[in-house]
């Protein structure tokens, strides 16, 4: 060992010279700090020719600096500051669709009546006729709670139409239907 960094009576960093660190599948719980016969078969994680080995000690990393670790090697950069992401601005139609998703969630959580689900399907057909995900959610609820109603095959037919119209989501829709039917 050539140096030790201590703060508040706790060792934070140890630096070793002529150190080799290896990893072996047969003994993955320990790292060799010296050359041994077993180390020749192990994966070398750090070789003495690479210079001094710094070993950080601790149980947690409370924060990370978002910039170069070595300013001398990488130059002086301004401190990292994440840009603020502006809040999205939704249209009135998007907000209405969000409210539909909330109604679906509420209905799912309280196991509503068939008439509520049918009314919600009507709203979805008016506001979001091509939104496959909300139709799939309605199908899942209908299949689980009202399997024998006329609504379940009607929703399955609508999902089939959407899958044909939008080939890129065909697998998503069919996998969702299979998942709904298996639960």
pLDDT digits (tens), the chain, 183 positions: 899 998 888 898 999 999 999 998 765 554 445 545 544 578 999 999 999 999 988 887 676 666 666 666 666 555 555 578 889 999 999 999 999 999 999 999 988 899 999 999 999 999 999 999 999 999 999 999 998 999 999 999 999 999 999 989 999 999 999 999 987
Enter the pTM of the model.
0.55
Burial class (CB in 10 A: 0-12, 13-18, 19+), 55: middle
Report the distance separating Cα 70 and Cα 151, nearest Å. Answer: 64
Instruction: Read off the tokens for 108.
Output: 């799912």
Report the distance separating Cα 12 and Cα 24, nearest Å. Answer: 26
Q: Which of 134, 57, 67 is nearest to 101 (CA)?
A: 134
Q: Are 46 and 83 in contact (CB under 8 A)?
A: no
Element holding 148 (H helix, E strand): none
Cross-strand bridge partners of residue 55: 14
Cross-strand bridge partners of residue 178: none
Report the distance separating Cα 58 and Cα 8, nearest Å. Answer: 13
């Amino acid at each position: 060992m050539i140096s030790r960094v201590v703060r508040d009576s706790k060792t934070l960093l140890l630096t070793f010279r002529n150190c080799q660190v290896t990893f072996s599948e047969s003994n993955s719980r320990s790292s060799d700090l010296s050359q041994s016969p077993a180390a020749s078969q192990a994966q070398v994680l750090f070789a003495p020719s690479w210079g001094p080995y710094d070993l950080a000690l601790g149980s947690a990393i409370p924060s990370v600096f978002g910039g170069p670790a070595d300013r001398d090697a990488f130059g002086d950069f301004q401190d990292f500051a994440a840009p603020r992401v502006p809040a999205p601005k939704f249209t009135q139609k998007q907000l209405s669709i969000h409210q539909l998703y909330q109604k679906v969630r509420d209905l799912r959580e309280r196991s509503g009546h068939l008439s509520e689900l049918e009314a919600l399907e009507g709203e979805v057909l008016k506001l979001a006729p091509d939104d496959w995900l909300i139709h799939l959610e309605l199908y899942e609820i209908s299949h689980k709670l009202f399997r024998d109603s006329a609504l379940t095959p009607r929703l399955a037919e609508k999902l089939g139409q959407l899958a044909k119209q939008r080939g890129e989501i065909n697998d998503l829709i069919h996998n969702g239907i299979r998942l709904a039917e298996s639960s």
